[in-house]
């Protein structure tokens, strides 16, 4: 057997190591990996199915990979367990039965990707099943046939299930029309340059990668010959998207925590290797491999493992409080999607070509994405999402948390704070977190209110503006906001026109720094500027107009709940106004970075209406011209 490239062996060995840790948590007569941790808000059957289907994808990708000396026996042992668990889980007479799918049930989601795993490793997982077992599995899969799927990327799960049934001889004539309908509905969500709005979620985030383009490319790989024109269309969209999306991976390999289901971590890189497989990648094979490998290794080198040795819910570590209510202990294993790299044979250029630097390593950049209301920005090897438009629909706010979309900026190496889940409209104290934008308090019940619905007004390479309202429909509390942002290296210039219809206090939060050691967090505070440091990064907030004082939000011990996605302790610079109503103009500079020299405050040289000029001891002069700029004192 010819030796495989080290790059290929690294991915193959990593997949096996993750899989072996899961196999230790199985019972010979069970139908799930017995993971401990969160229960979802679905039901126990859905959670049990997740703890089978998502690890099964990892198993399938490893099982179909190139053989290694001496591993044939172990492959058959693992494949045998998954086959028997599948038979038990789909048997209505078994105590391990997962139950059928029903309208909008989570089982429909798991079925959609599980059937892809069965086909990707068909000779290991599907073909060895007897005819009666295949028929029973197919009958269970067919519960995706007529049941409802949420009007977003979930429609792919209906498509994939019906495609599987057609491919294995269990299709019905009506399936063609159903597949076309679901595809047509998802295509209505397309907004241009590869960006989809995630249906009723009304969001633009990593689900464009996790879901729309991953499933579009996977469908093309498995079933694209059934509809060549549609396959070409989706591949074209993926090419456009990935050419921009590559700019969201820092030199370290991390991508910004932003949007829902970020606990899937390194599945964010999954479409890149699928695009290489289908020969539609806008990246060279060497850059695509470097991106995927660095993203994988970044997270695997963090303390992300729970007590059983499996991957735990969280981001940089195990922090289940940050995840959505639909997540359970098995949810995180949709990170397995990243291992579609193993669909590429060891002699593919993806594995053999020399690595090439990532976009974030090549230099700073600004990539406006007006279709999504976002700007992608590279700063000294880190990357940032400036958010002028993405949001989450009100019906999903209690499940998802508005803080995953409601901040002005999301940066690698920094992360953000989450709010605490509460019952919507009556127990929202702490529901919004103070970092990364404006919040208000001081209404009738003194709750904190942050940004939610947002309308982007302008997006360019040097400026964005958007408008939104802070408040709540209960009590008709409202403050109108028009926000403008400009940027220079690690700094943002923020100008906020606000109009409060009740007396309220407004707070602007800077970048939230985190640490696993609270003693490393230090605050520097003067009338002119609030700064924080954690031994590696600095964060600074310099008020320019409209604020009365500076301060901090912090967690330095166990007396308050954790709120930062990266580590248990945090410190965030704040600037606050007094309590008042009416029109106020707020302006400030907020920044973060690793160079202490760049943390020094800016001097105002000229604050004329329409033209501001600042001077910095390291970064030099910065002049901004825009009609929204008021005269600064």
Q: Which conformational region is residue 594 in: left (phi greater than 0), alpha (psi within -120 to 50 degrees), or beta?
A: alpha
Q: Report the SS3 class of residue 189.
A: coil
User: Residue 444: its pLDDT value, please?
Assistant: 74
pLDDT at 234 over 60: yes
Q: What is the mean pLDDT of residues 372-400?
A: 89
393: confidence class by pLDDT, cuts 50, 70, 90 = confident
Q: Which conformational region is residue 169 in: left (phi greater than 0), alpha (psi within -120 to 50 degrees), or beta?
A: left
User: Residue 525: its pLDDT value, please?
Assistant: 73
pLDDT at 237 over 80: yes
Radius of gyration of the chain (CA): 25
Q: What is the mean pLDDT of residues 363-390?
A: 96
Q: What is the mean pLDDT of residues 563-572?
A: 96
Distance between alpha carbon 535 and the CA centroid of its chain, in Å? Answer: 27
Are 189 and 199 contacting, i.e. CB atoms less than 8 angstroms apart? yes
pLDDT at 379 over 60: yes
Strands 438-441 and 491-509: antiparallel
Are 61 and 218 contacting, i.e. CB atoms less than 8 angstroms apart? no
Q: What's the token pair of residue 496?
A: 């906020």
What are the pLDDT digits (tens) for 210-230? Answer: 999 999 999 999 999 999 999
**3-state percent breakdown (helix, strand, coil) of the chain, nearest 5:** 35, 25, 40
429: confidence class by pLDDT, cuts 50, 70, 90 = very low
Nearest to 79 by CA among 167, 19, 21, 143: 19
2: confidence class by pLDDT, cuts 50, 70, 90 = low
| Percent share of the chain, pLDDT over 70 | 98
Pick from 93-102, 140-149, 190-199, 447-456: least confident: 447-456
φ, ψ (nearest 5 deg) of residue 400: -100, -30
CA distance 563 to 317: 13
Nearest to 92 by CA among 127, 48, 140: 140
pLDDT at 421 over 90: no
**Residue 353 CB: number of other CB atoms within 10 A?**
16
CA distance 216 to 8: 25
Contacts of 393-401 with C-beta under 8 Å, sequence gap 24+, read 393/200, 393/201, 393/202, 393/203, 394/452, 394/453, 395/200, 396/200, 396/201, 397/424, 397/452, 398/325, 398/422, 398/423, 398/424, 399/41, 399/324, 399/325, 399/326, 400/201, 400/260, 400/324, 401/324, 401/431
Are 65 and 121 contacting, i.e. CB atoms less than 8 angstroms apart? no
Angle made by CA atoms 169, 175, 177, in degrees to the nearest 5: 150
Q: What is the mean pLDDT of residues 135-145?
A: 97
Q: Report the SS3 class of residue 363.
A: coil
Nearest to 377 by CA among 187, 567, 250, 215: 250
The string of DSSP letters for 263-312 reads GGGGGGGHHHHHHHHTT--SS-HHHHHHHHHHHHHHHHTSS-B-TTSSBP
Q: Report the SS3 class of residue 260.
A: coil
CA distance 150 to 131: 33
User: Residue 25: its pLDDT value, please?
Assistant: 98
User: Residue 1: its pLDDT value, please?
Assistant: 52
368: confidence class by pLDDT, cuts 50, 70, 90 = very high
φ, ψ (nearest 5 deg) of residue 474: -75, 115
Q: Considering the chain, what is the average pLDDT of its residues?
A: 94
279: confidence class by pLDDT, cuts 50, 70, 90 = very high
pLDDT at 370 over 70: yes
pLDDT at 472 over 50: yes
Go through the domains of the chain in sequence order and give each one's CATH number. Answer: 6-354 (1.50.10.20), 368-625 (2.70.98.70)
Contacts of 623-629 with C-beta under 8 Å, sequence gap 24+, read 624/486, 624/493, 626/463, 626/484, 626/486, 628/465, 628/482, 628/484, 628/495, 628/497, 629/495
Q: Which residues contact 396 (CB under 8 A, 6 or more apart)?
A: 200, 201
User: Residue 70: its pLDDT value, please?
Assistant: 92
What are the pLDDT digits (tens) for 474-503? Answer: 789 999 999 999 999 999 999 999 999 999
CA distance 198 to 182: 14
User: Residue 422: its pLDDT value, please?
Assistant: 43
CA distance 598 to 436: 19
446: confidence class by pLDDT, cuts 50, 70, 90 = confident
């Amino acid at each position: 057997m010819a030796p495989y490239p080290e790059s290929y062996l690294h991915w193959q060995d990593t997949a096996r190591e993750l899989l072996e840790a899961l196999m230790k948590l199985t019972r010979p007569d069970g139908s799930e990996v017995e993971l401990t941790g969160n229960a979802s808000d679905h039901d126990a059957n859905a959670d049990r199915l997740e703890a089978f289907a998502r690890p099964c994808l990892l198993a399938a990708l490893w099982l179909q990979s190139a053989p290694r000396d001496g591993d044939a026996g172990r492959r058959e042992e693992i494949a045998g367990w998954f086959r028997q668990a599948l038979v038990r889980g789909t048997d209505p007479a078994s105590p391990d039965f997962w139950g059928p799918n029903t309208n909008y049930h989570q089982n429909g989601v798991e079925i959609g990707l599980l059937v892809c795993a069965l086909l990707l490793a068909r000779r290991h997982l599907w073909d060895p099943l007897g005819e009666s077992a295949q028929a029973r599995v197919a009958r269970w899969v067919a519960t995706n046939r007529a049941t409802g799927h949420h009007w977003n990327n979930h429609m792919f799960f209906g498509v994939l299930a019906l495609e599987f049934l057609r491919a294995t001889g269990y299709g019905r004539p009506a399936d063609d029309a159903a597949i076309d309908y679901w595809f047509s509905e998802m295509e209505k969500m397309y907004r241009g340059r590869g960006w989809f709005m995630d249906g009723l979620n009304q969001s633009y985030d990593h689900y464009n990668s996790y879901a729309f383009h991953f499933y579009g490319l996977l469908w093309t790989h498995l079933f694209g010959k059934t509809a060549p024109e549609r396959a070409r269309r989706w591949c074209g969209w993926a090419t456009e998207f990935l050419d921009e999306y590559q700019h969201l991976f820092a030199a370290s390999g991390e991508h910004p925590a932003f949007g829902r289901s970020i606990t899937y971590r390194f599945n964010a890189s999954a479409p890149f290797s699928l695009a290489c497989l289908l020969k539609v990648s806008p990246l060279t094979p060497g850059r695509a491999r470097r991106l995927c490998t660095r993203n994988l290794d970044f997270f695997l080198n963090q303390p992300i493992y729970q007590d059983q040795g499996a991957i735990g819910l969280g981001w940089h570590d195990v922090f289940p409080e940050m995840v959505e209510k639909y997540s359970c202990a098995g949810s995180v294993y949709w990170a397995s999607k990243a291992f579609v790299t193993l669909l590429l044979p060891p002699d593919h250029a993806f594995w053999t070509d020399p690595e090439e630097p990532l976009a974030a390593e090549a230099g700073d950049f600004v990539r406006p994405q007006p279709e999504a209301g976002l700007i992608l920005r590279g700063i000294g090897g880190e990357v940032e999402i400036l958010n002028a438009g993405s949001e989450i629909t009100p019906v999903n706010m209690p499940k998802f948390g508005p803080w995953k979309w409601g901040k002005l900026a999301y940066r690698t190496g920094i992360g953000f704070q989450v709010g605490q889940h509460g019952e919507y409209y009556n127990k929202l104290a702490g529901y919004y977190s103070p970092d990364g934008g404006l919040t208000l308090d001081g209404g009738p019940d003194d709750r904190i209110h942050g940004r939610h619905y947002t309308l982007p007004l302008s997006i360019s390479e040097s400026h964005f503006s958007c408008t939104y309202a802070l408040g709540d429909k209960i009590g008709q509390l409202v403050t109108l906001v028009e926000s403008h942002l400009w940027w220079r290296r690690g700094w943002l210039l923020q100008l906020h026109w606000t109009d409060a219809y009740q007396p309220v206090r407004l707070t602007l939060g800077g970048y939230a720094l985190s640490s696993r050691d609270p003693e490393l967090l230090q605050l520097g505070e003067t009338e002119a500027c609030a700064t924080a440091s954690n031994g590696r990064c600095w964060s600074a907030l310099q008020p320019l107009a409209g604020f009365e004082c500076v301060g901090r939000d912090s967690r330095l011990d166990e007396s308050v709940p954790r709120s930062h996605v990266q580590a248990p302790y945090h410190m965030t610079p704040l600037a606050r106004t007094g309590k008042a109503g009416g029109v106020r103009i707020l302006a400030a500079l907020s920044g973060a970075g690793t160079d202490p020299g760049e943390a020094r405050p800016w001097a105002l040289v000229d604050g004329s209406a329409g033209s501001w000029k600042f001077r910095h001891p390291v970064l030099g002069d910065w002049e901004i011209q825009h009609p929204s700029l008021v005269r600064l004192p």
